[in-house]
């Protein structure tokens, strides 16, 4: 019984980490998929406020942290934390082709702060976490 308890605690602790690009990465609370409404989380068509924040993202075998929105694909250059707020210094591109080529980007700053009831404030706008859904056919 004690062995099972230790195994459970070990697996639980390991589950709080992500393995990416050969490095162990503890996920930040703001990482994941967010939208301004739960309805937008479910919408698969057209423009929306959906926002993906992924510090462990890898492109072409290289770590490439991203902040990604509709027609706003941003490479995270730096992250700084002050209190419970995080500032991301990013380079953003309108199109994926520009993102991949590294041309035509504009530098900007994005502010992240925890909101009420598990929400996230992105530049002062409230976003809700999109829950993973299981697709069955």
- Sign of the CA dihedral with 55 first, then 57, 62, and 67 last: negative
Instruction: Find the largest Cα–Cα distance for the chain.
Output: 59
Per residue in 39-80, pLDDT (tens digit) is 999 888 878 999 999 999 999 999 999 999 998 999 999 999
Percent of the chain exceeding pLDDT 90 equals 64
Query: What are the φ/ψ torsions at residue 29 (nearest 5 degrees)?
Result: -60, -30
CA–CA gap between residue 1 and residue 10 (Å, rounded): 14
- The pLDDT, as a whole number, for residue 4 is 32
């Amino acid at each position: 019984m004690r062995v099972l308890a230790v195994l459970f605690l070990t697996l639980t602790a390991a589950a709080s980490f992500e393995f990416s690009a050969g490095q162990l990465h503890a996920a930040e609370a703001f990482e994941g998929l967010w939208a301004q409404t739960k309805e937008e989380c479910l919408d698969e068509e057209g423009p929306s406020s959906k926002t993906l924040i992924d510090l462990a993202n890898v492109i072409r075998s290289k770590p490439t942290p991203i902040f990604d929105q509709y027609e706003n694909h941003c490479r995270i250059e730096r992250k700084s934390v002050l209190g419970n707020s995080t500032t991301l210094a990013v380079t953003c591109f309108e199109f994926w082709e520009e993102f991949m080529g590294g041309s035509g980007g504009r530098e900007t700053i994005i502010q992240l702060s925890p909101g009420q009831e598990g929400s996230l404030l992105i530049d002062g706008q409230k976003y809700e976490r999109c829950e993973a859904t299981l697709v069955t056919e």
